Amino acid sequence: MAVVFETEGLSLLQEALEAMGQGFQTLPEVGNALDSDGVRSILLSVAGRMQENYPYFHPLYVGQMLKPPHPVARLAYALAMFINPNNHALDGGRASSEMEKEAVAQIAAMFGWSSSLGHLTSGGTMANFEALWIARELAPGKAVAASAQAHYTHSRLSAVLGVPFRKIASDERGRMDIGDLREQLQTGEIGTVVATLGTTAAGTIDPLPEILELRNEFPFRLHVDSAYGGYFTLASNLGSHARAAYDAIANVDSIVIDPHKHGLQPYGCGCVLFREASVGRFYKHDSPYTYFTSEELHLGEISLECSRAGASAVALWATMKLLPLDRNGSFARSLEKCREGALQLHDQLQAGKRFVPLFQPELDILVWGVRAHTASESSRLAREVFTEAEKSQLYLALATFPRKMVEPAGVVSNWDREDLVCLRACVMKPEHLDWMPEILKRLEASL
């Protein structure tokens, strides 16, 4: 049986397109014929090519950080595409620039900021790049520090920026080791610390309150990379460690969050926020090419990227209209369900014999090893389970963790290598909760 994609929205799109056209009715008409035979055959061949993907949209896909956009995001994006606005300057995207400012202000308000500066980016990498660039401008010559479990982008971006990078140890829970951070801060070489709320591999949360406390002793800038985990500040079912970190977030200097990860957006939507709007001065430029024609703020004046998809802002704005960032709203509830699903998976695996979760998930990402005598044998079995699961159309991910993070769980008794290949699930879809019995069944069967 073929998967049936949601197409009801297409008639809504048609209606909205007609409504949008009304606004331009004073223009003389232009023909817009479509070579439908040519387009049709190409579209069908695209449909064929796209079948070569894993079914990211399906609840049996529980591998990498992939979450389908909300239908309202898809439709609003498609609607905006007929205008194709560019949020570089107001002249290129008048309405969509306003929508971007409104959407970004709502995200900032979610973190407790009311007068911050921020904008959308093409993704988390670019958003982090801007945050580290501003940090470098404020403290030239100083190093950027991030934990061993931080996204690799931070060391690479530091290299691009010509800034020294310091790797801070992670503890057995995959959280930044405060003792090591303190020691490295004592060198006086660190200008910026990156705290990750929701590490990419294991979804762990750096101890933000403790990091903030170190600012009483050492002067450093604090950037939070919550590209993955940012929206979880809305969830009411976090553990106390994670809750405390989110509750402290308003005290940092900059934050990154990816609406294209947990914010139900198509790819191409990251966001960077700065607590102090005054950092906008570093973006100043006087390009003769840019078509700035008004005194109002053009987003191109506070963004490193020039052309940016206005459609991304439109889709995000529309999604937040339908699903506001409220603590007790249905969007928050959907994140809570993801976390519930991950906790359920954790408890079920814990109760069995062969799979051993490394620790309770802090968000909705679970990592577990396969019980075996040696680390090599366990790693080999994890790869095998991964492959077998895929044969039964259960799509998982693999991740390698250092011995330190695995040892306390007692997955293996003989460490013949210093790391372990583990299985990993990103329980990112609220539907995963209802599908958990089926997911578990297929997982057990693949052993």
Ligand X SMILES: *Cc1c(COP(=O)(O)O)cnc(C)c1O
Where on the chain is the footprint of ligand X (CB under 6 A)?
A: 123-125, 128, 151, 153, 196, 200, 225, 227-228, 258, 270
Question: What is the C-alpha separation between 430 and 332, in angstroms, rounded?
Answer: 11
Q: Closest approach of Cβ 3 to ligand X, in Å?
A: 26
For residue 82, give the 3-state DSSP assignment. coil
Q: Which is nearer to ligand X, 177 or 435 (CB)?
A: 177
Shortest CB 72 distance to ligand X, Å: 21
Joined together, the tokens standing for residue 21 give: 């056209």
Closest approach, Cβ 119 to ligand X, in A, equals 15
Q: How many CB atoms lie within 10 A of CB 33?
A: 5
What's the min distance (Å) between Cβ of 107 and ligand X? 15
> Which candidate, 77, 74, 68, 73, places its Cα nearest to that of 311?
77
Query: Could you tell me which residues are beta bridge partners of residue 420?
Result: 401
Shortest Cβ 365–ligand X spacing (Å): 10
Residue (90 or 144) nearer to ligand X, CB: 144
Q: Is 149 or 378 the residue whose CB approaches ligand X more closely? A: 149
**Helices (H), ranges, 205-285:** 208-213, 240-247
DSSP string, 311-332: HHHHHHHHHHHHS---TTSHHH
81-112 core/surface letters (b: 16 or more CB in 10 A; e: else)? eebebbbbbbebbbbbbebbbebbbebbebbe
What are the tokens at 153?
């982008």
In the complex with ligand X, the residue whose CB is nearer, 158 or 378, is: 158
Residue nearest to ligand X according to CB distances in the complex: 124
Tell me the C-alpha distance between 35 and 40, whole Å: 8
Q: How far is the CB of 410 from ligand X (least distance, A)?
A: 28
In whole angstroms, give the CA distance from residue 185 to residue 263: 34
Kindly tell me which of 90 and 103 has the beta carbon lying closer to ligand X: 103
CB of 244 to ligand X, least distance (A): 19
* Closer CB to ligand X, 153 or 379, in the complex: 153
Quick one: 97 or 128, whose CB is closer to ligand X?
128
* Cβ distance to ligand X smaller for residue 194 or 389: 194
At closest approach, how far in Å is the CB of 299 from ligand X?
19
Work out the end-to-end distance of the chain between its first and last CA atoms, rounded to an integer number of angstroms. Answer: 27
State which residue, 69 or 270, has the beta carbon closest to ligand X.
270
Instruction: Say which residues have a Cβ less than 8 Å from residue 390's Cβ, sequence separation at least 6.
Output: 396
Place of tokens 């500066």: 117
Rounded Cα–Cα distance for residues 109 and 265 (Å): 19
8 Å CB contact between 403 and 411: no
CB of 426 to ligand X, least distance (A): 10
| Residue 175 near residue 147, CB atoms below 8 Å | yes
Rounded Cα gap, residues 39 and 298, in angstroms:
37
